[in-house]
Amino acid sequence: MGIVFRKEEMKDIQSASNVNIVQAPAGFEGPGFFATKLDHVVGLARKNSIWPLPFATSCCGIEFMATMASTYDLARFGSERLSFSPRQADLLMVMGTIAKKMGPVLRQVYEQMAEPRWVLSVGACASSGGIFDSYSVLQGIDHIIPVDVYVPGCPPRPEQILEGVMSIQTLIQNESLRRRNSPEYKQLLASYGIE
């Protein structure tokens, strides 16, 4: 015997299941089949299941906590599963000042990540050193690792961090499967001295 719902209860359930589902990529459709490009499917899957590694060092990390918390809720973008192990992470989110003492650590974390990997530099300090133009601060993490998206602000608002994540999503969706094998990409990594 099934569960019988009253009419007003049904309404609640329907509204609760009002979940957005991503659009299928363009392709050919017919009875029982759907054909599309592998790139598109992989991009779609990767885009909506990013596992970020929060590399939160200072103030921006607190704004990241706000982004994770209930009001802004990063989970809406499929990124609520934080991967604290670099081996399983897709996205390295560098939030906060990276001092020279920290530089080698950051680089090691990047090297430990498996391809494909993306880097989001959150805040002025990570992007350029910010207001800390001093002897101990690395003037932008792009001196040691390649960066995909920069988020400005000191610290950026959670909305800005979300926009940064969405920009990363766009990059991921449109990335060719062969990009990581391309000579340009290898040259980029070589310019940073990363194998």
Partner 1 sequence: MESKPAIQEDNKQYTTLNLGPTHPATHGIFQNVLTMDGEIIVDSEPTIGYIHRAFEKLAEHKPFYQVTPLTDRLNYCSSPINNMGWHMTVEKLIGAELPKRVEYMRVIIMELARIADHLVCNSVIGVDTGAMTGFLYVFQWREDIYEIYEEICGARLTTNIGRIGGFERDFNETAWRKIKKLVTDLPAGLKEFEKLLVRNRIFMDRTIGCGPISAERALNYSFSGPNLRAAGVDYDVRVMNPYSSYQDFEFEIPIGKNGDTYDRFMVREEEMYQSMSIIRQAMEKIEKLQDKTSFHADIPSFYLPPKEDVYNNMEALIYHFKIVMGETDVLKGEVYHCVEGGNGELGFYLISDGGRQPFRLHFRRPCYIYYQAYREMIKGAFLSDAILTMSSMNVIAGELDA
Partner 2 sequence: MDKPTIDQVAEAINEKFGDAILSKEQQYDFTVITIDKSILVSLFRFLYDDERFQFRYLTTACGVHTPDQPKPFTMMYQLHSLVFNLRIRFKASTTLNDLQFDSLIPIFSSANWMEREAFDFYGIRFKGHPKMTRILNVEDMDYHPMRKEYPVEDLTRYDKDDTMFGRDKANFKKLN
Binding site for partner 1 (CB under 8 A): 54-59, 61-63, 65-66, 69-71, 82, 84, 96-99, 101-102, 105, 109, 131-137, 154-155, 157
Task: Give the nearer residue to partner 1 in terms of CB position, either 96 or 140.
Answer: 96
**Residue 52 and residue 118: Cα distance in Å, rounded?**
9
**Residue 127 and residue 150: Cα distance in Å, rounded?**
6
* Beta carbon of residue 49, minimum distance to partner 1 (angstroms, whole number): 20
> Secondary structure of the chain: what % helix, strand, coil (to 5)?
45, 15, 45
> Hey, what are 183's tokens?
């000579």
Q: Which does 139 bind (CB under 5 to 8 A by kind): partner 1, partner 2, none?
A: partner 2
Write the CB contacts of 131 (distance below 8 Å, at least 6 apart in sequence): 124, 125, 154
**Residue 1 and residue 53: Cα distance in Å, rounded?**
47
Task: Give the nearer residue to partner 1 in terms of CB position, either 63 or 175.
Answer: 63
Binding site residues, partner 2, CB under 8 A = 100-101, 129, 133-137, 139
Q: Which does 59 bind (CB under 5 to 8 A by kind): partner 2, partner 1, none?
A: partner 1
* Beta carbon of residue 36, minimum distance to partner 2 (angstroms, whole number): 45
